[in-house]
Structure 1
């Protein structure tokens, strides 16, 4: 088994950035790069962007880092995997200046967001399974199986204007059969609207929904749609794991310059 070098400045670091009397040990840029997995230039760029605190400078201009900078870089890697690099940079800059309570709430909110995205994707899967079951039910094309725009909007819990917008985008195709050319939705249009509503609730933008709806008209349409939703669930799981891996380092960032209030 390969063992870490005993000279590594990051060996044994605790969540609060300490390490057996080595808390104040100074690290060079190359040391931080090696410990964090980033290149020397990336370390400098991330410092400039505020991902890590400004490094101390010696009289000759060389940068000097501590274990807190390594923690911040590890935290950034995981947080960027969970929410994207732009939001991760903003969050880390704010976490260092907020109270522990506010910082902890911000991190918890990311966990809640990922859980909500997963629930929405699962609901979309369930809706698609139910709709697919309807298409296999004999006799579902009865002539009386139509809805007005008001009825369908109420059934989907959306605004009538949303249905009109989906029609303009080519996602739903209602019939116009009355003398006033009012919209009437037969079962095929109702199914389309239900799928669009499920996908929109799951966070898909209009271009992605258009692609999915197009796949439904191909022979492998339903299977392709399920595959796309499963891919979304897999990505959410990957983002969640990235956030979990960043947990201890995020805690180190949050507590680096402050301690939680005493419970005494």
Structure 2
């Protein structure tokens, strides 16, 4: 669509073209998701092609990363430099790739936990806090934090009360480490562990991480689908087409 075809659009027209209500269009303008519209002498807004470009980019971004992050990012893409905007988009792809890698690593960690849980475990196989931290590649402070949060339960031995991690504690620590690597916080991990105790060790945790991997793949595909709209946005920014415009008569 050429600029001449959309030289001046009302709020309602823009909403119909992009699937938003008039109030949503006004709200997105107020939040800086789209450039400010010029106002006529009667106070009515006049939208142009650049507003459609920005709204298409926002809609595509929202499908990929969610409406709230998209609303936060759009003013940066519109108001910053083209180089900065391109870097932000690159960061989105990198963040999704990094999270996908962490979830895959978490699933591998759960597989190790399953294998270890079937092995015969003697008292001599118990680990100290330092040994367990090294085995999981985490800090001892992380193990202490998990204990304070009530999701890890080492035994206390000797007069000094040194921590000792037996079979169950080691396996649960592996599950915790795997889920933390997958991006999960303490409350959902606590719920998972409560469900797993006395049941199949990591079935629920594996399902949750697998579902997370599916969702990350969907978001990556959605971000790729947004490439055209984001390219148009960067083109408009490079041409200065997203700069605020003064009121017209």
Q: So what's the TM-score if we normalise by structure 2? A: 0.89
Partner of residue 45, structure 2:
63
Query: Which blocks of at least 5 consecutive residues in structure 2 are unaligned?
Result: 241-249
User: SS at the partner of 1:176?
Assistant: strand
Partner of residue 38, structure 1:
20
RMSD: 1.9
Alpha-carbon distance between aligned partners in 1 of 2:99 and 2:47, rounded to the nearest angstrom: 37
How far the C-alpha of 1:218 sits from its partner, in A, is 4.3
Higher helix share: 2
Q: Is the 8 A contact 1:68 1:252 kept in 2?
A: no
Q: Is the 8 A contact 1:121 1:233 kept in 2?
A: yes
Q: Is the 8 A contact 1:149 1:184 kept in 2?
A: yes
How far the C-alpha of 1:245 sits from its partner, in A, is 2.3
Structure 1 residues 99 and 22, CA gap change in structure 2 (3 angstroms)? same
**5 Å matches for 1:116-135?**
116-135=98-117
Query: Which blocks of at least 5 consecutive residues in structure 1 are unaligned?
Result: 1-12, 14-18
Alpha-carbon distance between aligned partners in 2 of 1:28 and 1:237, rounded to the nearest angstrom: 37
Partner of residue 155, structure 2:
175
Q: Is the 8 A contact 1:215 1:222 kept in 2?
A: no
Q: Is the 8 A contact 2:60 2:229 kept in 1?
A: no
Match of 1:50 among 12, 32, 51: 32
**5 Å matches for 1:232-243?**
232-243=212-223
Q: So what's the TM-score if we normalise by structure 1? A: 0.84
Structure 1 residues 218 and 54, CA gap change in structure 2 (3 angstroms)? farther
Partner of residue 156, structure 1:
136
Number of positions where the alignment pairs a residue of Structure 1 with one of Structure 2: 240
User: SS at the partner of 1:144?
Assistant: helix
Structure 1 residues 93 and 169, CA gap change in structure 2 (3 angstroms)? same
Alpha-carbon distance between aligned partners in 2 of 1:57 and 1:159, rounded to the nearest angstrom: 58
Partner of residue 98, structure 1:
80
Alpha-carbon distance between aligned partners in 2 of 1:203 and 1:41, rounded to the nearest angstrom: 36
Alpha-carbon distance between aligned partners in 1 of 2:237 and 2:159, rounded to the nearest angstrom: 72
CA offsets 1:148-175 (integer angstroms, 9 cap, x no match): 1111112222221211110111211111
2:194 maps to 1:214: yes
